[in-house]
Amino acid sequence: MNDYLVAVILGIVEGLTEFLPVSSTFHLIAAARLLGHGEGEFAKLFEVFIQSGAVLAVLLLYWKRLKKDTALLGKMLVAFVPTGLLGVLAYGTIKRIFFTSYFWMIGIFILVGLAFFIFEALVKKGTLAPRKPLIELSYKDALIIGLVQALAFFPGVSRAGAVILAMMILGFRRDDSAAFSFLLAIPTIFSAGLYDLYKTRDLILSSGANVVSLVVGSLVAFLVAIVAVKWLIRYLQNHTLNIFGYYRLAAGLLFLLAILFL
């Protein structure tokens, strides 16, 4: 398949899944495997770098809010610290082991889906009550959320899913939890993309086609992510996370079957 067509397809996958609690990394790795995109260093860089295109969508949609609310910006940075530290300390190990082990990814992907069902059952029983608005977020809350977000380095967890669950356990509304997960993606994903870009700079400069693929994939991810972000906020105002739990179970099993039999 043409490399640029692959870049477009993966850009669509990234834009659709980056901000939904379904793990964009899992989907990118699965899609790349099914498309024969390869497992080399550039393929891994591509899967990380085009996430920056999706984050630009958040900047476009939330720029005015961030300019007005400097306290929120500070809480984003506090939440980013644990993720940034883990990324620097465990960068090589995580990419070497968890980005190449499909069975690890599938297992984690399905387990997080089951966690959604458990969480929603607790909400239904009244054990948890996610009602607080984002304005009540404290710096302590932000640090706890950042620690949980660090788990999303492992493909299959979902950065958005981890942040949304952590915030709802702390009592925040579903739609506000999703909004903060979008905002937290800005420092998290941009730093990961830049770090990966620096680590593989020689690989990128070795081919102009590599640069074009990165640009195409990022642009497509940006455009699709705008639609996905707006949809998720509206959806979570009146719905639970159960649909994403069902999706994780179905998609995880399908990818497992694809690996075993294709």
Is the pLDDT at 205 greater than 70, yes or no? no
**How much is the average pLDDT of 23-49?**
77
Helices (H), the chain: 3-17, 24-35, 41-49, 51-68, 70-97, 102-125, 139-149, 159-169, 174-199, 201-205, 208-236, 242-261
* Pick from 20-29, 40-49, 204-213: least confident: 204-213
- Taking alpha carbons only, the member of 131, 127, 107, 110 closest to residue 119 is 127
What percentage of the chain exceeds 90 in pLDDT? Answer: 53
pLDDT at 36: 77
pLDDT at 192: 73
Which residue has 């500070």 as its token pair?
Answer: 74
pLDDT at 193: 72
Highest average pLDDT, of 71-75, 91-95, 201-205, comes from: 71-75
pLDDT at 90: 66
Which value, in Å, is the radius of gyration of the alpha carbons in the chain? 18
Is the pLDDT at 49 greater than 90, yes or no? no
* Residues contacting 98, CB < 8 A, separation 6+: 104, 105, 153, 154, 155
- Cβ atoms of residues 23 and 31 within 8 Å: no
Higher pLDDT: 178 or 191? It is 178
Is the pLDDT at 101 greater than 90, yes or no? no
Average pLDDT over all residues of the chain:
86
Higher pLDDT: 63 or 189? It is 63
Please classify residue 224 by burial: count the beta carbons closer than 10 Å to its beta carbon, then call 0-12 exposed, 13-18 middle and 19+ buried: buried
Adjacent-strand bridge partners of 172: 132
Q: How does 166-198 read in b/e, with b if 16+ C-beta sit within 10 Å?
A: bbbbbebbbbbbbbbbbbbbbbbbbbbbeebbe
Give 122-178 pLDDT, tens digit per residue: 999 999 999 999 999 999 999 999 999 887 777 788 889 999 999 999 999 999 999
Taking the domains of the chain in order of start, what are their residue ranges?
A: 3-261
Adjacent-strand bridge partners of 132: 172
Please classify residue 123 by burial: count the beta carbons closer than 10 Å to its beta carbon, then call 0-12 exposed, 13-18 middle and 19+ buried: middle
- Position 210 confidence tier, pLDDT thresholds 50, 70, 90: confident
**How much is the average pLDDT of 83-109?**
74
- Position 67 confidence tier, pLDDT thresholds 50, 70, 90: confident
Higher pLDDT: 209 or 158? It is 158
- Amino acid identity, position 86: L
- Cβ atoms of residues 6 and 216 within 8 Å: no
Is the pLDDT at 207 greater than 60, yes or no? no
Q: If you ran DSSP here, which 8-state letter would residue 237 be given?
A: T
**How much is the average pLDDT of 200-215?**
69
Give 233-256 pLDDT, tens digit per residue: 999 999 999 999 999 999 999 988
pLDDT at 9: 94
pLDDT at 95: 62
pLDDT at 98: 58
